[in-house]
């Protein structure tokens, strides 16, 4: 589990954050050591105590995140929190534990009061982050999980550590020279005049232009320049014989400006269509997600009510084992009362353990359901985003400064 903690104040803000409704499920699992039973009351209680000290960051907030592909039981979460509590020097300090579920993942938050009420001072917590990193590493090793790069080498922890060079714009994808040559030769074969050839080229995504040396060149939709005679495998005089005088053709700069304008409109239209598609996809996903979360909440509520009903029934059975009146006195004197009490405690503990496993099973099945629709949604959106990124790159290509014919792509 990844453990991240920090000292902080802001009792009310933290309570509101932990109960945010944007989480699909929020479970206040434990409020221990406070007089209040709610998060807001507990944290305000810690704040009131801190006023008797000079401590401003009177709370310690810890997040516990398991790997995305691992299912962790509630007991395992609590076990890790207990170890963190000991490591941080917060043993027996008042604490609250909250479980969050969002996007098919479950994680926990634990918040301790740092105020030692017996000494009326804040618990000193040197090297808390280093200690949490060491504990995180221990947990990954113990469980045999693949350790994140950041736990092996801190320089690999976050992609925001990348250099500027690693974030530069990707180079355009190269076209297959054979497909380019085939398109140009096909347009040439079906055309008997400059007008017909120009039309045939544009149908294939190319524009005819006048090069710097008064030669015929062709530009593609990305404004790359191709020497026409070389790509056709013809002599210059043969090209001139069919196309005639080069006068009247726009030069490279004018053609690039024309392409930028025409393709810019096309790309804007495609981008708008993709944006609409993305919005519709998100709306459909959100409707599906909300319906799923509502159904899961109902299932959890039904499970809780069923377990509560069973608890009540079983408690009545256990209580009925104790005899009343003189029989009860006699049972107490001969130790039978104590034996029944121990039996009841064992059965109650076993029942609580069974209920916990049942709750965890339901929670894990719910996490799997939400993870599946998230993966489907992500894959759908990712395809859309890849296309938008490509359109954005193309838009930048068409908006760049026109190049000179010195950049003509040679014959393949």
pLDDT band at residue 164 under the 50/70/90 scheme:
very low
Q: What pTM, to 2 d.p., does this model score?
A: 0.52
Choose among 323, 326, 321: nearest CA to 342.
321
d(CA 352, CA 122): 36
d(CA 327, CA 332): 9
**DSSP per-residue string spanning 191-244:** -SSHHHHHHHHHHTTEEEEE-TTS-EEEEETT--EEEHHHHHT--HHHHHHHH-
Report helix angle 39-50 to 11-18, nearest 10: 160
pLDDT in tens, 313-360: 999 999 999 999 999 899 899 999 999 999 999 999 999 999 999 999
pLDDT in tens, 94-143: 999 999 998 778 999 999 999 999 999 999 999 999 999 999 989 988 88
66: tokens are 């398991």
Residue 167 has pLDDT above 60, yes or no: no
SS3 107: strand
d(CA 299, CA 306): 10
pLDDT band at residue 381 under the 50/70/90 scheme:
low
The whole-chain average pLDDT of the chain stands at 82
pLDDT band at residue 382 under the 50/70/90 scheme:
low
């Amino acid at each position: 589990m990844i453990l991240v903690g920090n000292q902080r104040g802001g009792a009310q803000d933290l309570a509101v954050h932990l109960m945010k409704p944007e989480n699909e499920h929020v479970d206040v699992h434990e409020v221990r050591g406070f007089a209040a039973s709610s998060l807001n009351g507990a944290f305000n209680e810690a704040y009131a105590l801190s006023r008797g000290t000079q401590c401003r960051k009177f709370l310690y907030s810890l997040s516990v995140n398991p790997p995305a592909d691992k299912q962790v039981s509630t007991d395992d979460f609590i076990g890790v929190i207990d170890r963190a509590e000991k490591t941080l020097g917060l043993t027996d300090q008042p604490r609250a534990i909250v479980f969050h579920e969002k996007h098919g993942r479950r994680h926990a938050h634990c918040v301790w009061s740092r105020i030692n009420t017996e000494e009326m001072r804040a618990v000193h917590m040197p090297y808390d982050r280093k200690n949490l990193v060491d504990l995180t590493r221990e947990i990954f090793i113990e469980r045999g999980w693949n350790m994140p790069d950041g736990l092996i080498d801190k320089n690999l922890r976050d992609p925001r550590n990348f250099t500027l060079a690693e974030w530069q714009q990707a180079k355009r994808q190269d076209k297959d020279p054979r497909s380019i040559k085939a398109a140009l030769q096909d347009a040439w074969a079906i055309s008997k005049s400059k007008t017909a050839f120009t039309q045939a080229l544009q149908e294939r995504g190319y524009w005819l232009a006048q090069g710097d040396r008064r030669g015929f060149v062709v530009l593609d939709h990305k404004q790359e320049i191709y020497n026409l005679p070389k790509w056709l495998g013809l002599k210059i005089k043969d090209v001139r014989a069919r196309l005639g005088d080069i006068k009247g053709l726009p030069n490279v700069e004018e053609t690039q400006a024309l392409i930028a304008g025409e393709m810019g409109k096309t790309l804007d239209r495609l981008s708008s269509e993709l944006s609409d598609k993305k919005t519709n996809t998100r709306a459909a996903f959100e409707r599906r997600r909300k319906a799923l979360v509502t159904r899961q909440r109902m299932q959890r509520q039904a499970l809780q009510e069923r377990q509560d009903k069973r608890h009540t029934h079983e408690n009545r059975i256990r209580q009925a084992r104790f005899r009343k009146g003189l029989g009860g006195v006699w049972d107490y004197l001969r130790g039978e009362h104590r034996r029944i009490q121990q039996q009841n405690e064992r059965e109650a503990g076993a029942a609580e353990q069974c209920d916990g496993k049942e709750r965890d099973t339901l929670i894990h099945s719910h996490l799997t359901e939400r993870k599946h629709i998230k993966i489907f949604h992500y894959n759908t959106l990712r395809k859309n985003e890849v296309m938008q990124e490509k359109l954005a790159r193309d838009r930048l290509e068409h908006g760049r400064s026109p190049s000179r014919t010195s950049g003509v792509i040679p014959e393949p």
